[in-house]
Amino acid sequence: MKNIWQSLEKHYDSVKSRSILGLFGDAGRAADFSVRHGAALFDFSKTNLDAEGLSLLLDLAEAAGVSEKREAMFSGAAINETEGRAVLHTALRNMDGSLTVGGRDVLPDVRATYARMQAFATDLRAGCIKGQGGKITDVVNIGIGGSDLGPYMAYIALSPFADGPRCHFVSNVDGAHIADCLRGLNPETTLVIVASKTFTTIETMTNAQTAKDWMGRVVAEPAAQFVALSTSAEKTAAFGIAPERVFGFEDWVGGRYSMWGPIGLSLMLAIGPDGFADFLAGAADMDAHFRTAAPAQNLPILLALIGIWHNQVCGYTTRAVLPYEQRLSRLPAYLQQLEMESNGKRVSMDGAELEIHSGPVVWGEPGTNGQHAFYQLIHQGTRVVPCEFMVMRKGHEPDLAHQHLLLVANCLAQAEALMRGRSLEEARAIMAAKGLTGAELDRQARHRVFPGNRPSTVLAFDQLTPFVLGQIVALYEHRVFVEGVILGINSFDQWGVELGKELAVALQPILEGREPADQKDGSTRQLVAYLTDNT
């Protein structure tokens, strides 16, 4: 692979100063550098990639063994080598066939849990499962990381389809989060979902106890209005949750890949079992596309290769995700975890330090809000930020179609502006038309220059539905997998979150005054003294 990396670097050196806009001198540019899958369109023609660069990237994917490792993942091989586990979140949306892991077919258990979720959601939505004050009107999902970001993002995204109880999400151990959430809710008609695989996650369990205490001040049997999404029967029983209210999942489902199963229960309660089935079907559709489409027409592979081109080859260290869809407001945060926790590594699978940089910094906000915030830096800042726009052909508000067209216009205009820019000559002409002359004309014109030649891609879909959201999330999951394979890292562990957790546990008794801080560094001692001084 080293020679392919070298060829890519050499190719980039030869083309980095050319105009992206100039590439459209080829009348077939847009068609040649875009891919369709069903109703979806992925346009990557506004990048500096050409046929040679794309060919080298496809060679890189082949040399890295993407196809073989993809099949190893889907077949249940233990590709999470540092933890000795399979990676089978895709099994949660597999409603057909069989899949043997460790000598047994794991799909009957997956489907049995799914059937229990469907029955529970159907009964609760119908009012057959009640709170101690009547029909459940509100659901509070308590989790953190993948147990929060996924279902929270999806709940907001699919709000036009939400006809069940109102859902609320608590993640931060900051007491303000749960206090603000519970304020105004009726404990007698609220269901609390505690999402923690081990039932030991300190933030989640602290918030769970707070919610139980809150409910217990009004409700005689608070634990009867709790559900656990956990594999620990012993700990959930100790908390008082009945076994039939516990939904478990296997250790081959990672947290940030888990909302397809029990972690998605809040979403199923909100949009119903049929809507949730459509969500799974969209993901399964993208799974099939990822497994069968040729690499040059494969959306996850192409999305990953363009990410590799911009980050590892061009040296752009960050990527902005910009959905022009208000209901995808939490998608950038969700993708932050998905990519940065997965591919934010510094060693390869064999433990050797990486010779190339790993994943980029991923961030973003929905359009058009971002245009009035950070787009200034994207357009005129000194660093290039590749942008990934996302837009829907149709909204859910037919009486506001004119606003949706304005939204689409802004999305396409931003992508065009990043590529086209504005030259000094054009800026001078604008200032001259305003009556400026001489040095002042030149000074003002320079402030209005846009360098342009800044890359972007556009993912366009028909409408944000459960099926389409399933496609989007699975697309990015597989994109992260492909990038990880090419970089030679394990995308499915997250040891980087552990050290801070361990130190926090050690600091708590110090902050409580039960242990001295003398073994801590000077800065930590000073901060402990300040933050515990109540005089």
At 352 the pLDDT is 96
166-170 and 134-135: which strand pairing?
A: unpaired
- Reply yes or no on whether the pLDDT at 526 is more than 90: yes
Catalytically annotated residue among 10, 16, 357, 501: 501
Per residue in 495-534, is it b (16+ CB within 10 Å) or e — as a string? eeeeeeeeeeeebeebeeeeeebeebeeeeeeebeeeeee
| DSSP character at residue 262 | G
Helices (H), 371-452: 375-380, 401-420, 424-433, 438-447
Q: Is residue 479 within 8 Å of residue 304, measured between CB atoms?
A: yes
- Those residues with Cβ within 8 angstroms of residue 327's Cβ, 6 or more apart along the chain or in another chain: 156, 157, 158, 159, 160, 464
134-135 and 138-142: which strand pairing?
A: unpaired
User: What average pLDDT does this structure show over 368-394?
Assistant: 98
Cα gap 226→204, rounded to integer Å: 13
| Mean pLDDT, rounded, of the chain | 97
As beta bridge partners, residue 37 has 40
Cα gap 154→328, rounded to integer Å: 8
The string of DSSP codes covering 58-127 is: HHHHHHHTHHHHHHHHHHT---BTTTTB---GGGGG--SS--EETTEE-HHHHHHHHHHHHHHHHHHHHT
Catalytically annotated residue among 341, 365, 388, 483: 341
Number of helices (H), then strands (E), belonging to the chain: the values are 20, 15
CA angle 311, 313, 319 (to 5 degrees): 15
- Reply yes or no on whether the pLDDT at 535 is more than 80: no
> pLDDT tens across 162-184, in order?
999 999 999 999 999 999 999 99
- Reply yes or no on whether the pLDDT at 376 is more than 80: yes
The string of DSSP codes covering 28-53 is: THHHHTEEEETTEEEE-TTSS--HHH
Annotation says 341 is catalytic: yes
pLDDT band at 135 (very low <50, low <70, confident <90, very high): very high
- Reply yes or no on whether the pLDDT at 309 is more than 90: yes
In 3D, which of 141, 38, 137 has the Cα closest to residue 465? 38
Residue 368: cis peptide before it, omega within 30 degrees of 0: yes
Compute, in degrees rounded to 10, the torsion defined by CA atoms 261, 265, 270, 273: 50
Count of CB atoms within 10 A of residue 212's CB? Answer: 19
> pLDDT tens across 432-471, in order?
999 999 999 999 999 999 999 999 999 999 999 999 999 9
CA angle 331, 333, 335 (to 5 degrees): 70
Catalytically annotated residue among 372, 402, 434, 447: 372
Annotation says 37 is catalytic: no
Q: Is residue 80 within 8 Å of residue 86, measured between CB atoms?
A: yes
At 534 the pLDDT is 86
Residue 443 CA from chain centroid, whole number: 43
Annotation says 404 is catalytic: no
Per residue in 250-276, is it b (16+ CB within 10 Å) or e — as a string? bebbbbbbbbbbbbbbbbbbbbbbebb
At 79 the pLDDT is 96
In 3D, which of 233, 284, 266, 244 has the Cα closest to residue 107? 284
Helix (H) or strand (E) holding 157, with range, is helix 146-157
What are the φ/ψ torsions at residue 193 (nearest 5 degrees)? -105, 125
At 23 the pLDDT is 98
Return contacts of 427-436, CB within 8 angstroms, 24+ apart: none
At 95 the pLDDT is 83
Q: Is residue 494 within 8 Å of residue 340, measured between CB atoms?
A: no
**Order of strands, edge to edge, in the sheet holding 40-43?**
34-37, 40-43, 456-461, 387-392, 318-324, 361-363
Token representation of residue 24: 């459209």
> pLDDT tens across 251-303, in order?
899 999 999 999 999 999 999 999 999 999 999 999 999 999 999 999 999 99
